[in-house]
Every structure is written in structure tokens, then in C-alpha cells.
Amino acid sequence: MTIMRLAFILLTSIFIISGCAQENHSQTVSEKQQNKPNILLIYLDDLGYGDVGAYGATALKTPNMDMLAAGGVRFTNGYASSATCSPSRFALLTGVYPWRNKRAKILPGTAPLIIDTTQLTLPKMLKQQGYHTGIVGKWHLGLGDGQVDWNQRISPGPNEVGFEYAYIMAATQDRVPTVYIENGDVVGLDPQDPIQIDYQNNFEGEPTGMDNPELLKMKWHHGHYNSIVNGISRIGFMKGGEQARWVDENMADTFLVKAQQYIVEHQQEPFFLYYALQQPHVPRTPHPRFVGTSGMGPRGDVILEADWCIGEIMKTLEEQRLLENTLIILSSDNGPVLNDGYYDQAEELVGNHKPAGPLRGGKYSLFEAGTRVPFITYWKGHIEPTTSDAIVSQLDLMASIGTLVGGDSGDTDSKDLLQAFMGQSQYGRDELILEATTRTALRKENWVLIPPYPGPPVNKNVKIELGNSAEYLLFNLEQDLGEQRNLATTHPDKLEEMKASFQMIRGDFGQTERLELK
Ligand code: NG6
Ligand code: CA
């Protein structure tokens, strides 16, 4: 009897304990799902403030980006950290202003990794919080230590700074090596046909855009006259790796499929996917099914292609029932440019479309269009649709996501603006340092101060006003969004106040930094 009783008590307690454990376990899972949503960062390359329907474009139809904007927070004062790619991406992943890192400039394909492998990064922080982390798309933050052998495992790279999965192009679509790299290995490389890369000298007998224009299907306008791959001449010289070379027209589909696979494979754990599309950067090479769809030539066509990709990714999330559990952030690495080095009719066919919307300048510019970009946060069932005028920067994703997932984002320039990103507050930053090709300026509340910089006011190749001037430029964006009226002489007190604020953060006026554009 006693033994029976004892056995009964024992069994009941085991049952209760295991029941509790089960309950605890399921609580953890649901808690996890609330506090640790999947994070999908959709990052475009050179997409302008005015290129999206939700930001005023009418001639280009971008229904999928518009859907995110209409169902989430559409930021009207959302900034990339720089007016070019590598510095913006450095800041996005580290929360550190790019001008603090002298190596954060437009990088050649042979540049070493510019993120210190001991530095805290967004993916590392998320990994610490139990996330699986992946990148698919453009990297452009350098690889290796300066002496990369493209025929061996390439390291350090994305895997060494926090990404557990990486399917990337090394630099840009217009730079060699023109191959995909998966977790450090060139995809589809034939060891009998090794890859050689050089940014100074050509390899003997290899055709170039300069010497062999007859081999080109897209002519170069400025730069881009080195090795020819797939009928397009690039920046830098490449030999070998024939089988591994990408077909530009398939790049959008290739990245899309990899991003979709990643989502399907990692849905059992919280995941962070950095989906870095190549569009609409040059060379603009829409898949044949998008050719002619925009009426604006390749630049418009690839924007429609990118929008379609975003729609497909949304479908994947929906099919996998992940929409309510995924925070989506969409933005661009810098402002727009029409002619960035190839004849692709971007200027001729743009018509009334305004890639920069109402803003002045474009890619490479210290004026607003250099860095103010489409910026959207979307989380079905968690973010109420709204438009926000709060000043937010991509720099702030590190601290804000840190707060969201309970991670320590360290001591960086990143500000916790989670409430703004969740659409629960209209308050963002008071001030932000703007950067364009190593020059810096200050946005503070509704004012912008651009210190004097030497160099041409306009880059004649790309036809963009860079923000260089012999005078201080002071604009009030509330009354003058297009930065047409310099108030530096009429508002001397404001000018002094802005100079003092700028100097406080920036330390110097950066006047010794020269523009690097050719
Ligand atoms: C410039 C290239 C431009 C583009 C840019 C990088 C020339 C003349 N121009 O140097 O075509 O590749 O670098 O763009 O070579 S970014 O979006 O990756 O920063
Ligand atoms: Ca870019």
C-alpha cells in the first residue's frame, strides 16, 4: 500500500513537473516570438527618395514597396549614413559613423575587410540573442586581409563579422570579381581555371572595354573600361573563372531564390536576413521579362524588377505564415544617379520622373538627395500604418533593434529610436551628421549646415551637384526642402549655432578631406 502510494506520488509529481516544464517551454517559445521577431532588412542600391510610388513617383509603379509603406511607417526624414555604398553599409552593420573609419570609402573588389572582426555588429548582436543570421546580395565591405586568393576560402568576410550564412557579390555589379561567393567560396569555380584579379594591370591577351568596344553590349561612358564580362566592361581586371562568372540578367532571380531558401530553412528559429539587392546600381541589366516594362530604359526596368522581387519575398513570408512575426525594414544605401558610367539611356528616358523627388543633389552629394532615401518599417499586426517625419538614420537600427530583442548594442553612434521605428513616437534624432565621399555636413532639427569644401560644385560625368562651395551653406528644410536659399548671411546666429553643434560632434570641419570622384 505504502509502496503503491509512494509510486503514485512519484508519478504524479513527475507528471506535474514535466507538465510545468512543457508549459514553461511553450511560454518561452511564444515569448520568443513576441520579443524576437524575424528581421528582414531589404536594402536597395542607389534607389532614390523619389523612385518609389509611396514617395511620390507616378511614372514608375512600385506596388510592393508601396504596400509596405502603406501598411507600415513611411519615414519622410530617413537617412542613409553616407551618399555612397561602402560607408553606408559599414554604418548600417556597426552603428558607427563612417567618417570615424578612414577605410570606409568606395572600395575596389580587392579591398580588405573594413569591419574589425572583434567589433560588435548588428548580426553578431542578434546571434547573441539566439538569432540565425544571413546575408544575400551585395557586400562591398571588403574581403580578406588585402592578399585574397580567390581560389581558396576567402576570409575574413561576412561569416567572420556575424553572418552564419552568406551568399554575396564581393563589391559591386560593375567591379570584378564578377562571381558569387557562398560562405567564403566562389560558387561554381573550376579549379582548372583559377581566378586572378588585379586593379592596376591587365592580364596579357585579355580584352578590355577600352581596347575592344566591339565586344560590348553596353557601352561605357566614364570609368568601366577594364575587363569585359558578359559583354559589359567593368572596373578592374579579371582572368579565369569562366564557369563561375555571373550572368547579370539572372542576378535578381539568383539572389531572390537564395533569400527565399534562407527564409524557408530558418523559420524554426528567429532569423535576421540582410537582403541586399543590386538594383538600380549600374550596370542595369534587367532580366528579359522586365526589359521595356518601365518605358524608362534599364534603370526603370530594374526598379520594377526589384519591386517584383520584394513582392516575391513577401509571398514567401506569407506562405510560411511568418508575416505577423517578421519586422521588415526597407531602405537604400544612397541616393539616385542616372548616368553612373554606362550608356543605358537613363538620362534620355527619364521624362518627368524625378529620382530624387523634391530633393537637391543625388548620389555622391552632400545635398539632401545624397542621403535622404526611402525608409520603411513594416510589421503586420504590430506596427500601425503611419507617416513619420522623425529624423531617423540607418545608423540607429543597431541600438533600436538591440532594444527590441534585449541585446546590448554597445557604445556606438547608434540611437535607440525603437518607438519611432514602431510608429509609436514622432520623435527621432535632434541631429545627424551627413556624409558624402568623406565630406560631412550637419542636419539639426529642420536646418542643414554644409561647410565650405573645395572641388567642383557639379560632377560633370554624373551631372550631380555635390554640395561643394566656397561659402557656408545654411538651409531651412521646413521652408525650403529643395535647398535653394542659402541663409548663412541672413541668419548669422543660426549659422554660429550650427557650426558649434557640428564641431562638437565632428571635431573638425573636414576641410582637408578631398573629393575622390574622378
Ligand atoms: C564609382 C563608379 C560608379 C559606382 C560607384 C560606387 C566610376 C567612374 N564610377 O567610382 O560607377 O560604381 O563608384 O557606387 O568608376 S556605390 O553605390 O557602390 O557606392
Ligand atoms: Ca549604392
Tell me if 430 sits within 8 A of 445, measured CB to CB: yes
For residues 234 and 163, membership in a common domain is answered with: no
Shared domain check, 254 and 235: no
**According to the model, what pLDDT value does residue 509 have?**
53
The confidence score (pLDDT) of residue 320 equals: 98
Q: Note the pLDDT of residue 147.
A: 93
Whether residue 191 lies inside any domain: the answer is no
Residue 291 CA to ligand 1 center (angstroms) comes to: 23
The reply to whether 375 and 411 lie within a common domain is yes
Whether 25 is covered by a domain: the verdict is: no
- Last residue in a domain, options 429, 454, 488: 429
What pLDDT is attached to residue 516?
Answer: 36
Cα angle vertex 190, ends 186, 196, to 5°? 65
Q: Which atom of ligand 1 is nearest to the CA of 171?
A: 18
Of 429, 461, 494, which closes a domain? 429
Residues 200, 288, single domain; the answer is no
In a domain, 419, yes or no: yes
Q: Which ligand is nearest to the CA of 111?
A: 1
Indicate whether 157 and 207 sit together in one domain: no
Q: Which ligand is nearest to the CA of 84?
A: 1
Q: Which ligand is nearest to the CA of 373?
A: 2
Is 11 contained in some domain? Answer: no
CATH of the domain at 444: 3.30.1120.10
Residue nearest to atom 13 of ligand 1 (CA): 106
The C-alpha cell 561605357 sits at 220
Q: How many residues does the chain have?
A: 518
**pLDDT of 35:** 79
Contact in structure between 109 and 171 (CB atoms under 8 Å): yes
Whether 3 maps to a domain, the answer reads no
Say yes or no: 288 and 209 in one domain.
Answer: no
DSSP 3-state percent helix, strand, coil across the chain (nearest 5): 30, 20, 50
Q: Taking the CB of residue 322, how many other CB atoms lie within 10 A of it?
A: 18
DSSP for 154-182, please give it. --SSGGGGT-SEEEEESS-TTBS--BEEE
Flag whether 225 is in a domain. yes
- CA 64 to chain centroid: 18
Residues 66 and 181 in one domain: yes
Burial 173-187 (b: 16+ CB within 10 A, else e): bbbbbbbbbebbebe
- Residue 279 alpha carbon to ligand 2 centre in Å: 9
CA dist 142 → 101, 110, 287, 388, 417 (Å):
13, 7, 28, 34, 29
- 110 with 211, same domain: the answer is no
Nearest ligand 1 atom, CA 333: 17
**How far is ligand 1, taken at its centre, from the CA of residue 174, in Å?**
8
Q: Please state, in angstroms and as integers, the Cα–Cα distance from residue 119 to each residue in 33, 95, 105, 115, 160, following that order.
A: 28, 11, 18, 7, 10
Q: Is the same domain home to 467 and 507?
A: yes
Q: Which protein residue's CA is at the shortest distance from atom 11 of ligand 1?
A: 340
Residue 507: what pLDDT? 78
Domain-ending residue, one of 386, 410, 429: 429
Nearest alpha carbon, ligand 1 atom 7: 223
One domain, residues 140 and 101: yes
Give the global pTM. Answer: 0.93
Q: What is the CATH number of the domain that holds 178?
A: 3.40.720.10
146: left (phi over 0), alpha (psi -120 to 50) or beta: left
| Residue 21 falls inside a structural domain | no
In the reported structure, the alpha carbon of residue 495 is separated from the centroid of ligand 2 by a whole-number distance in angstroms of 31
Taking alpha carbons only, the member of 333, 167, 309 closest to residue 252 is 309
Q: What is the mean pLDDT of each run of 10 residues along the chain (518 residues)?
A: 54 46 44 78 99 98 98 98 98 96 96 98 98 98 96 98 98 98 98 98 97 98 98 98 98 99 97 98 98 98 99 98 98 98 98 98 98 99 98 98 96 97 98 96 98 96 98 98 98 97 79 36
d(CA 342, CA 298): 11
Domain count for the chain = 3
The candidate with the shortest Cα–Cα distance to 263, out of 169, 311, 180, 326, is 326
Mutate to test the pocket of ligand 1, among 172, 222, 464, 518 (most ligand atoms within 8 A of CB): 172
27 is a domain residue: no
Segments forming the whole domain that contains residue 222? 196-239
C-alpha cell read off for 238: 579579371
| Same domain (yes/no): 117, 144 | yes
Indicate whether 163 and 300 sit together in one domain. yes
- What confidence score (pLDDT) does residue 512 get? 41
Separation CA 150–CA 401 (nearest Å): 34
Mutate to test the pocket of ligand 1, among 47, 114, 340, 463 (most ligand atoms within 8 A of CB): 340
Residue whose entry in the numeric block shows the C-alpha cell 520584394: 310
